[in-house]
Amino acid sequence: MRLINRHGRKRRLATILTTSIFLSIGVLIFVVILQNYQVNRDVVEQEVARTKQQTSSLVQEIFNLRVKSLEITQDSYSRNPTLIAGTRSKNSQILDSFFNSIDQLSPDIAPDFRYISSDNEIIWDDANLQFYGISSEQINSLSKGMVTGLGWHISQSPSALGMRYLSMRRTAIVDSNSGEVVGYLYIGFVLNNNFALVNAFSKSGNADEILLAVGSEIIASSSKRQQEKYSEWLEQSSKSLSDGRYMVSRTDLTINNVPTFVSVYTVQSNEHVQAFVRSHYVWILVTTLFVVCITIYTRVWLGKRVSNELKSLMRYTETTIQEQKASKFVGSSIKEFDQIAGSFERSFKRLHEQEKQFTELFNFSLSPITLWNIDGKLDRVNPAAERSFRRGAVQDQLIRNLRPHIKMCAQGATLTGINTTIDHKTFRWNLSPISSDNRITHIMAQGQDITTFIEAERQSEAAREQAEESARARADFLARMSHELRTPLNGILGVSQLLKGKMKDKQDLEHMEILCNSGEHLLAVLNDILDFSKIEQGKFHIEKNAFRLIELTSTVDKIFKPLCDSKGVEFIVESDIDNQLWVYSDQVRLNQIIFNLVSNAVKFTHQGSVKIRLNVECQNNDCLFSIDVQDSGIGIEKARLTDIFEPFVQAEATTTREYGGSGLGLAIVHSLVTIMDGKITLDSQLGQGTQFSVEIPLQIGQEQLSRHAGLEADPATLFSEVIHVLLVEDNHTNAFIAKAFCEKYGMRVSWVVDGLKAIEVLKADNSISLVLMDNQLPNLGGIEATDIIRHDLGLSVPIYACTADGMQETENEFLRAGANYVIVKPIKEVALNKAFIHFKRHHYSLVE
């Protein structure tokens, strides 16, 4: 197994493992050895320093001992009678024999030289100074230079053999009887080549060599052999006294704590330190060899072990891939490899199952599945496709039809809902690219025979069109009917109102009243039908205006109070609406909702009361308007409650007979409430009464100061002069009524029966201040005539249109053509009054 490192170089797993082991063991051992070496070196260095210190003290001790013994013997001789006698008599023989005898007794503690002076003159010497090459004169001068006292005097004296370094001491020779100083005994030792001293140091210390030196000059040494080399050492002594093989310690000799210029160097072999260092090197070498051996062994062992296991794992994956079936792994002694193999096994199994599922899906699918290569060649088909496109010609059709889509899909697009006709059947195809390694290799096209579905779709489309057509026809019929009915009704109501104004007889008036009411009722039913047909066709529009909400109560009170009074039913209107609350909503439709509910309540109540509660709750700009209409009337059966809002539904079949009505009122209320985003609920008990509750959201509206000003304008005084009106109306009754109304306002009316005539009159007569234009006219319709007057003739004369169908669309068309106002027929006095007020406000000033 090879692993790729950062630089792309591949390395064996065993090498990586071995390197890591080698590095960690190596570093560990190195650190241990280093630390051990450091500790040992400190110990050795301390030991060396201690040894040097000891040697130094020992050398000084030996020297002190020697000097002390010389002092003692010198002091003891100085009182010896023989010496005194010899000195006094200056007899050399006595003195010679005296000192000889002493030296024989203890030769070890004899000084190097002795001499005696008396009366400032040397009277005796042992001739050793001459042996050291020092002349009598020099001795004399040395003696004189010495200060009286018992201390040692260190001096140097040139001699025939070079510079001599001397240590001398003087003692007075005193006659103990008389106390007289008869002379001075001088003793001394020469440090140059003082082998006795060197030997004494050698014997007592364990040094290999002893050197006496003054500065860097060696004046005595225990071995002549290496003297030169030692000289070199001493020259460098300021730098280091040790060259590794030898340990050198230096003692600056003192006599009675007075420093001499002589130093003693003891040279000891540094063998054990050397051995210690050597043994360390050997250990490092041995350890390194050991680590290398272990590394090589580990590398080989790991290589064998890991490679074998990996090979078996790889063999397993390769065979499984080749044989395309999930077999079981034999197992590995390495746990991780076992786990890897386990996950391989699971993946292979899942893959195998997926493949099996896919094959089954492919084979058992009832819809045709085809597999294509990216060049548009059909590769494979499933049995369902085989059945459908078996015949050669059919298969050719399939390929011809699908190939362009396959090629498009090969660019990476997924195509759905592609319909093709093959062998008189319609197939709907979904095409999806199949990718492997980020490359599209195949396209799968899955089809579905939708021949019957298409046929059903076609039929349902035809049915829908038919239904729409009949709905349109029904709506048209309703619109036409309402127009046809309204026109004569217009006549009936108009004439009745005119006659009513002229009648004086009470009974005549009553009859006329009934006529008016019947006409109004018929108009209400007609309006209901028209509203409902508008709602059904989705042509119903809510027109919002600002108005005072309280106006709704006064209207309802005015209309129904007299009716209830006449029936002996109590009529109560409760409202906590603020007088000054202005809202923004469709006042007409709100009125219609209340009116329908209250008229039902009044209609179906014969005793007790009809109670209306109007309430509004506002928060910021939003209000919730609630209407409760509660009666103690006949009530509605529970079973009918659910469908009471459906159109043309009445609680009982007998209702129509007894109470009349179209069964549209509640359906319209329900639709209006829904359009206005509100909700309506109903609670009723048969024989006890009914309660309808409506909730409708409203917005706060801006107060309209001039609104409705002059709604009740007096026709006699509205205009101060005669207005010339052109009335365009083909229906004689309508024309008669309209004319009569206009005349009430002191207007002069010119009447024509179609659009063409109207245009002619307008062309000729410019005294006309207002045109009242009907819609449906012979020769040239009202809308077309308006358009010509405005746009072709370019006349600005105000045109007030009158439409009988009450459709919003007709109204809009009129306004688009150039009309200034639209009055809905049948023309009622109030509506006309409003229209004339509008005319006065907007156009009269122009006339004036």
Residues engaged in binding ligand ADP (CB under 6 A): 600-601, 604, 631, 633-636, 644, 649-652, 655, 661-667, 690
DSSP class per residue in 749-769:
EEEESSHHHHHHHHHH-TT--
- Cβ proximity to ligand ADP: between 519 and 661 the closer is 661
List all residues 6 or more positions away from 770 whose beta carbon is below 8 Å from its beta carbon.
723, 724, 725, 726, 747, 797, 798, 800, 839, 843
* Intra-chain end-to-end CA distance of the chain, in Å: 110
- Cβ proximity to ligand ADP: between 601 and 738 the closer is 601
CB of 575 to ligand ADP, least distance (A): 20
CB of 678 to ligand ADP, least distance (A): 17
CB of 418 to ligand ADP, least distance (A): 52
List all residues 6 or more positions away from 712 whose beta carbon is below 8 Å from its beta carbon.
833
The amino acid occupying position 523 is: L
CB of 596 to ligand ADP, least distance (A): 6
- Cβ proximity to ligand ADP: between 183 and 635 the closer is 635
Q: In which residue are the tokens 């006329």 written? A: 512
SS3 304: helix
- Phi then psi for residue 389, to 5 deg, are -120, 35
- Cβ proximity to ligand ADP: between 134 and 664 the closer is 664
Helices 451-502/506-536 angle, 10° precision: 160
- Cβ proximity to ligand ADP: between 383 and 663 the closer is 663
Q: How far is CA 269 from the centre of its chain?
A: 77
CB of 573 to ligand ADP, least distance (A): 16
Distances (CA, A) of 302 to 148, 291, 309, 341: 92, 16, 10, 20
- Cβ proximity to ligand ADP: between 22 and 540 the closer is 540
CB of 655 to ligand ADP, least distance (A): 4
Contact by Cβ (8 Å): 341, 329:
yes
CB of 610 to ligand ADP, least distance (A): 9
- Cβ proximity to ligand ADP: between 612 and 634 the closer is 634
Give 414: exposed, middle or buried? Use CB within 10 Å, 0-12, 13-18, 19+: exposed
Q: Kindly report the number of other CB atoms within 10 A of residue 218's CB atom.
A: 19
Q: Kindly report the number of other CB atoms within 10 A of residue 40's CB atom.
A: 15
Q: How far is CA 665 from the centre of its chain?
A: 59
Contact by Cβ (8 Å): 62, 254:
no
CB of 808 to ligand ADP, least distance (A): 23
Where would I find the beta strands (DSSP E) of 343-490? 369-373, 378-381, 415-422, 425-436, 439-449
Q: Strand 609-619 vs strand 570-575: parallel, antiparallel, or unpaired?
A: parallel
Which residue from 189, 247, 195, 251 is spatially nearest to 221, judged by alpha carbons?
A: 195
- Cβ proximity to ligand ADP: between 608 and 746 the closer is 608
CB of 549 to ligand ADP, least distance (A): 24
Q: How far is CA 643 from the centre of its chain?
A: 55
Q: Kindly report the number of other CB atoms within 10 A of residue 295's CB atom.
A: 17
CB of 746 to ligand ADP, least distance (A): 42
Where would I find the beta strands (DSSP E) of 632-723? 679-685, 689-700
CB of 787 to ligand ADP, least distance (A): 40
Q: Kindly report the number of other CB atoms within 10 A of residue 657's CB atom.
A: 9
**Rounded to whole angstroms, how far apart are CA atoms 526 and 337?**
91
**Rounded to whole angstroms, how far apart are CA atoms 739 and 8?**
106
- Phi then psi for residue 189, to 5 deg, are -135, 150
- Cβ proximity to ligand ADP: between 316 and 571 the closer is 571
Contact by Cβ (8 Å): 207, 214:
no
Run of H or E including 250: strand 246-255
- Cβ proximity to ligand ADP: between 111 and 633 the closer is 633
- Cβ proximity to ligand ADP: between 122 and 682 the closer is 682
CB of 611 to ligand ADP, least distance (A): 12
- Cβ proximity to ligand ADP: between 586 and 631 the closer is 631
**Rounded to whole angstroms, how far apart are CA atoms 40 and 698?**
101
CB of 643 to ligand ADP, least distance (A): 10
CB of 669 to ligand ADP, least distance (A): 8
- Cβ proximity to ligand ADP: between 191 and 667 the closer is 667
CB of 679 to ligand ADP, least distance (A): 17
- Cβ proximity to ligand ADP: between 60 and 655 the closer is 655
Burial readout 513-522 (b: 16 or more C-beta within 10 A, e: otherwise)? eebbeebeeb
The amino acid occupying position 240 is: S
Q: Describe the chain by its helix, strand, coil percentages, rounded to 5.
A: 50, 25, 25
- Cβ proximity to ligand ADP: between 260 and 655 the closer is 655
- Cβ proximity to ligand ADP: between 186 and 604 the closer is 604
- Cβ proximity to ligand ADP: between 42 and 683 the closer is 683
Radius of gyration of the chain (CA): 72
CB of 594 to ligand ADP, least distance (A): 13
CB of 617 to ligand ADP, least distance (A): 25
